[in-house]
Structure 1
């Protein structure tokens, strides 16, 4: 290796080996082209390590471009094959890279989870990789007149500063959208300085670990070849069976963002389908490859959460999907992402949701891997074999039936015709039969759905009547000042709700670990909003740290103006059950019994409802949620924190709070529904059998709650 005199006390290196790391879309490939003065290459994603040679600022340079990780995902959510690529990146420029460039774009928000993701992916190489790392900021034209130093210090609540400090305060900014010779020259000088500080040494991976990774990959490739042959033989056995379908019916199932809607676009060769989340079943029918194809898209569930956390409305939609393409689907396409790790919790979640349809559904299921373009030259069999036992178990459940779709290549009709061929082969294996649910299940589902709709209609009617009465009482009671305290479990959306109410990002985006107070003027009212730490959604109050409980209890002391209202924040896109109810009840005890009189339930993720009413969600969820709403005097409101430009959702909330305040000034909170309607609701709920007409045990428990006296001394004047 050529060496020359250096101002840093060691010989200067005239040939550099550089590895580029960073999340997807950070600009790694563009940075490689900029460093080497190469023309812009295809915008295709880097799926495997790519080694490029060239000259930069008079030095010979080898640059290794690597696959990027998803910015929001930690290392355990990155597919195993991709992590192996990152580990082997050092082996692509033996004996090892002089420098690792961590690429970060400056035109997007950088959060704590992004920092953790970067840290975990870099430390896959080894924890001392930071000694050989420089942070390179791309897309600097978006900084405008702001200096990069100011950006590092204030952006993302100093998360970027943490990364820069970890690299020994080494960073560089480079415009990858237009070549700048001086910027590249400065980068080379900084690399030379880092090498000098490290005594002229390059970064070296643990050789034993590298050997183990290479062996793992070799064995995975051998197993992938065997799997490919087994699948080919399996398909060959049924090749003679004749089951040509002129009418193909398919249902798409899968977790959220698995690529179901994209798969539908690919099947029909169109891009004009709405890309927003599927809230209800959507049926699409058209001619494909000479066949009439029907595809039923369904709502997805959360990828790692069990079936019990999925709202009842979504589970009912999944069940209904089977009957919406009569007499039943020929195939259930279970969508999975090929660019995200498949773990045990994902497998369990998938199996639980599929089992809603009955055990026989697996005989009619094909695994549909989306984002096939991100596999690059990696075969789907290599992905399956490298991921581990859980994905293999799921593939086995589907009898080795799987297919890959390239979501970026709509013109490739072959991938669709091959999918239809696999569907026909599966139907032939099933004796020409489609999937059909048990008729008793259908009837029970229909009966339950009609009952829920009837109760939801009645709830809307009673809410309208109650609202008319409340508005009359609240007429002329517009408040000049108001204090709001946000309560709820972690990830319920409290902080986002505070930002939506004030119409700004005053509360930031990081997790709330202590009370945060912000002020603002909204719709002619001066608001004080206090965000509080959340509790664990499923766990009792004993699991909440004492400091968090203390913060919550003291939140009211931060409210300085106007009547006090509590906003209990819940997510609409997650089920509410008995353990959540107990957690809410125990945490609200911190504020005394009268807290319920001052509380409005605020549902976030309002866009999840689609065209469905909030009342339909309430009635389908069961008794725990209905109990909670009754405790709050049936006061609730729906927010879509993704739609902050809608001022009406905030003004309507404030009006509901003013009605509550006016009502509490004139009388104690009481039920406003007619006795006849309450009786009918109880009958529909199956009440009246052994139900007590007097106080329930729950009521008696409430009356034995801790005394209000201490709390009232803190909040005197606010009620």
Structure 2
């Protein structure tokens, strides 16, 4: 199978799991800067392209997008950048884990990835375990994963596709073929080919990616008409910046529509409660509205009845001298 001209590969996983180092191992040189967990400047998505193993690879290296405790505004902005870099959609997802106990925190990260991209993305996933020096002697990564029911279930959902690397200690080792990045890289390339064959050379997509790709192509055509001297690469980079700004503006617009709707619904509800209750309801405050919006804000405006339910639930938490509906 000939496959796509450029293969888009999206690397996802917790911070400090070795995504950038793995990208450098795949490319065979230190192209990506290893990100520091507490460095705000490191919380950024990078995409680089190189000819590897007979084809062009674009590796999209993400920060810990699904780490717990990250500010949601920063995360959503970077998620949008990640989608723009991988549009019209990644051919391969590499989810990076470490060779260690499969913790509740890692389970939560996997759950967030699946919620954001949907389980349909698992058809394009290979699991990559780093810190391979922690793998017990004489054990392969499938045997290791099978020791944990939750981890083994994930491996099975990803078609049994998993590999192990050690970006620090396995660089030049020739002692054992399996415990070698060279061997694992060759196996990973085979897995990538199998995923492409299974998906007929296609890539993952969803509504957001389709919308972004349409926007990108439109902006490319406009820029070509006005900038004759720009190279294809310059046009592409400028368009990505334009689309990122436009998508961010659209999200702000959706948010304010929801806020306006929420203020109206919430205010009407307070008036209604005051009419039937003897006690005074709490005042409608900016902080209360902020909390409300935070609970209901998603990438798209939620279902109307879902929004109303959220406001009612929040109100009952805040104020409930008695409930006439019980």
Give the TM-score taking structure 2 as reference length.
0.57
Task: Give 1:95 shift.
Answer: 2.4
Task: Give 1:29 shift.
Answer: 0.6
Q: Is the deviation greater in 134-143 or in 212-221?
A: 212-221
* Inter-partner Cα distance in structure 2 for 1:209 and 1:57: 32
Residue 204 of structure 1 is matched in structure 2 by: 205
Task: Give 1:141 shift.
Answer: 1.3
* Inter-partner Cα distance in structure 2 for 1:158 and 1:186: 24
* Inter-partner Cα distance in structure 2 for 1:198 and 1:218: 34
Contact persistence 1:64–1:93 (CA under 8 A): yes
* Inter-partner Cα distance in structure 1 for 2:121 and 2:128: 15
Residues 91, 392 of structure 1: CA spacing in aligned structure 2 closer, same or farther, 3 A cutoff? Answer: closer
Q: Secondary structure at the match of 2:167?
A: coil
Residues 127, 219 of structure 1: CA spacing in aligned structure 2 closer, same or farther, 3 A cutoff? Answer: same
Aligned match for 2:24, one of 19, 33, 39: 33
* Inter-partner Cα distance in structure 2 for 1:221 and 1:44: 29
* Inter-partner Cα distance in structure 2 for 1:89 and 1:70: 12
- 1:159 and 2:127 correspond: no
Write out aligned runs for 1:319-718 (5 A): 389-390=290-291
Residue 82 of structure 1 is matched in structure 2 by: 75
* Inter-partner Cα distance in structure 1 for 2:51 and 2:128: 19
Aligned match for 2:62, one of 50, 62, 66: 66
* Inter-partner Cα distance in structure 1 for 2:163 and 2:119: 22
Aligned match for 1:98, one of 69, 81, 91: 91
Task: Give 1:52 shift.
Answer: 0.9
* Inter-partner Cα distance in structure 1 for 2:48 and 2:244: 23
Residue 43 of structure 2 is matched in structure 1 by: 47
Any idea what the Cα deviations from partners look like across 1:358-384, whole Å, max 9, x if unmatched?
xxxxxxxxxxxxxxxxxxxxxxxxxxx
Residue 171 of structure 1 is matched in structure 2 by: 162
Residues 134, 41 of structure 1: CA spacing in aligned structure 2 closer, same or farther, 3 A cutoff? Answer: closer
Contact persistence 2:11–2:93 (CA under 8 A): yes
Task: Give 1:389 shift.
Answer: 3.1
Residues 392, 149 of structure 1: CA spacing in aligned structure 2 closer, same or farther, 3 A cutoff? Answer: closer
Contact persistence 2:66–2:112 (CA under 8 A): no
* Inter-partner Cα distance in structure 2 for 1:193 and 1:175: 23
Residue 217 of structure 1 is matched in structure 2 by: 248
Residues 37, 392 of structure 1: CA spacing in aligned structure 2 closer, same or farther, 3 A cutoff? Answer: same
Residue 127 of structure 2 is matched in structure 1 by: 135
Deviating above 4 A after TM superposition, structure 1's stretches of 4 or more consecutive aligned residues are 208-216, 219-222, 390-393
Any idea what the Cα deviations from partners look like across 1:475-519, whole Å, max 9, x if unmatched?
xxxxxxxxxxxxxxxxxxxxxxxxxxxxxxxxxxxxxxxxxxxxx
Residues 69, 95 of structure 1: CA spacing in aligned structure 2 closer, same or farther, 3 A cutoff? Answer: closer
* Inter-partner Cα distance in structure 2 for 1:70 and 1:166: 20
Contact persistence 1:67–1:82 (CA under 8 A): no
Contact persistence 1:49–1:65 (CA under 8 A): yes
Root-mean-square deviation (CA), in Å? Answer: 3.3
Structure 2 residues not aligned, in runs of 5+ = 37-41, 172-180, 216-242, 254-288, 295-326
Residues 62, 118 of structure 1: CA spacing in aligned structure 2 closer, same or farther, 3 A cutoff? Answer: same
* Inter-partner Cα distance in structure 1 for 2:197 and 2:26: 21
Residue 337 of structure 1 is matched in structure 2 by: none
* Inter-partner Cα distance in structure 2 for 1:173 and 1:132: 18
Any idea what the Cα deviations from partners look like across 1:285-322, whole Å, max 9, x if unmatched?
xxxxxxxxxxxxxxxxxxxxxxxxxxxxxxxxxxxxxx
Residue 136 of structure 2 is matched in structure 1 by: 144
* Inter-partner Cα distance in structure 2 for 1:95 and 1:69: 20
Q: Secondary structure at the match of 1:196?
A: helix
Residues 13, 175 of structure 1: CA spacing in aligned structure 2 closer, same or farther, 3 A cutoff? Answer: farther
* Inter-partner Cα distance in structure 2 for 1:127 and 1:78: 25
Residue 271 of structure 2 is matched in structure 1 by: none
Task: Give 1:209 shift.
Answer: 6.2
Residues 205, 221 of structure 1: CA spacing in aligned structure 2 closer, same or farther, 3 A cutoff? Answer: same
Task: Give 1:55 shift.
Answer: 2.5
* Inter-partner Cα distance in structure 2 for 1:111 and 1:190: 26
Q: Secondary structure at the match of 1:144?
A: coil
Contact persistence 1:26–1:103 (CA under 8 A): yes
Q: Secondary structure at the match of 2:128?
A: strand
Any idea what the Cα deviations from partners look like across 1:667-696, whole Å, max 9, x if unmatched?
xxxxxxxxxxxxxxxxxxxxxxxxxxxxxx
Q: Secondary structure at the match of 1:123?
A: helix
Task: Give 1:69 shift.
Answer: 4.0
Residues 54, 131 of structure 1: CA spacing in aligned structure 2 closer, same or farther, 3 A cutoff? Answer: same
Residue 186 of structure 1 is matched in structure 2 by: 187
* Inter-partner Cα distance in structure 1 for 2:290 and 2:123: 36
Residues 52, 169 of structure 1: CA spacing in aligned structure 2 closer, same or farther, 3 A cutoff? Answer: same
Aligned match for 1:125, one of 117, 136, 140: 117
* Inter-partner Cα distance in structure 1 for 2:146 and 2:95: 18
Contact persistence 2:23–2:32 (CA under 8 A): no
* Inter-partner Cα distance in structure 1 for 2:149 and 2:77: 30
* Inter-partner Cα distance in structure 2 for 1:101 and 1:34: 13
Q: Secondary structure at the match of 1:124?
A: helix
